[in-house]
Amino acid sequence: MRKLFSILSVLFVALFAVGCELTNPEENGVTFKFQNIKTTTNSVEVEVVPSDETKLYLACIIEAPEIADLTDGQIIAKFTDAKDLSVTKGSKTLTAINLTPDTEYVAIAFTLTGSKVARQKLSTLPVQDPISGDDFEIEINVTDIKATSAVATATPNSSANRYYFRVITKMELDAFGIYDNDYQIFEYIIENPSSGEYITQGETTLNCRLNAKMDYLAVAFNFENWEAVHNQEEEIKLFRYEFSTPEAPEVDPDTLFAYDNLQVTHTGFSVDVTPAQGEESFWGYYVWTKKSYDETLATESKANIVMRSYFGLNNIGVEQGYDFGTFIQEYLGQTGSSTVINYLPLDNNTEYVLVLFYMDPEVSDPTTVYDYNYVAVPFKTLAPSADSAAMLEVSDPVIVKNGFKYDIQFLVKTDDKAVDMKVGAQLWNNYDFAKYWDPNDWSQIQAFFMFRTSVESSTLEAAKTAEGATVSFPGVDKEDYVFFFEVLNEENTATQYAIRVEPSLFDNAQ
Give the Cα-Cα-Cα angle 252, 253, 254 (nearest 5 degrees). 90
Residue 484 predicted with pLDDT over 60: yes
Instruction: Give the three-class secondary structure for 237.
Output: coil
**Of 253, 325, 345, 319, the residue nearest 284 (C-alpha):** 325
Work out the angle between the directed axes of helices 290-299 and 304-319 (0-180°, nearest 10): 140
pLDDT band at 83 (very low <50, low <70, confident <90, very high): low
The phi and psi torsions of 496 (rounded to 5 degrees) equal -120, 160
- For residue 358, what pLDDT is reported? 95
Of 34 and 431, which is predicted with more confidence?
34
Give the Cα-Cα-Cα angle 412, 476, 452 (nearest 5 degrees). 50
Distances (CA, A) of 345 to 113, 312, 377, 387, 420: 56, 15, 18, 20, 12
198 within 8 A of 152, measured Cβ to Cβ:
no
Distances (CA, A) of 17 to 14, 83, 107, 149: 9, 30, 14, 14
Domains of the chain, earliest start first: 4-123 (2.60.40), 138-244 (2.60.40.10), 253-380 (2.60.40), 392-508 (2.60.40.10)
- What gap in Å lies between CA 367 and CA 359, rounded to an integer? 12
**Range with lowest mean pLDDT among 48-57, 167-176, 428-437, 483-492:** 428-437
Residue 124 predicted with pLDDT over 70: yes
245 within 8 A of 150, measured Cβ to Cβ:
yes
What is the average pLDDT across 302-322? Answer: 87
Which among 51-55, 294-298, 447-451 has the top mean pLDDT? 294-298
**Range with lowest mean pLDDT among 110-119, 329-338, 398-407, 426-435:** 426-435
- What gap in Å lies between CA 421 and CA 452, rounded to an integer? 9
pTM here?
A: 0.58
| DSSP H or E stretch at residue 230 | helix 226-230
CB-neighbour burial class of residue 246 (10 A; exposed 0-12, middle 13-18, buried 19+): exposed
What is the average pLDDT across 411-426? Answer: 92
Residues in the chain: 510
Residue 20 predicted with pLDDT over 80: no
Residue 197 predicted with pLDDT over 90: no
- How does the average pLDDT of the chain come out, rounded? 86
Of 447 and 102, which is predicted with more confidence?
102
What is the average pLDDT across 215-230? Answer: 94
> In this predicted model, what pLDDT tens digit does every residue of 35-57 receive, in sequence order?
888 888 888 999 999 988 888 89
pLDDT band at 82 (very low <50, low <70, confident <90, very high): low
- For residue 28, what pLDDT is reported? 58
381-396: burial string, b at 16+ Cβ within 10 Å, e else? beebeeeebbebebee
> In this predicted model, what pLDDT tens digit does every residue of 257-292 receive, in sequence order?
999 999 999 889 999 999 999 899 999 999 999 999
What is the average pLDDT across 309-319? Answer: 88
- For residue 350, what pLDDT is reported? 92
**Range with lowest mean pLDDT among 141-150, 307-316, 447-456:** 447-456
- For residue 274, what pLDDT is reported? 96
Give the Cα-Cα-Cα angle 338, 339, 344 (nearest 5 degrees). 125
Instruction: Give the three-class secondary structure for 175.
Output: coil
> In this predicted model, what pLDDT tens digit does every residue of 344-380 receive, in sequence order?
888 888 999 999 999 998 888 887 888 889 999 999 9
What percentage of the chain carries pLDDT values higher than 70?
A: 93
284 within 8 A of 313, measured Cβ to Cβ:
yes
- For residue 442, what pLDDT is reported? 80
- For residue 257, what pLDDT is reported? 96
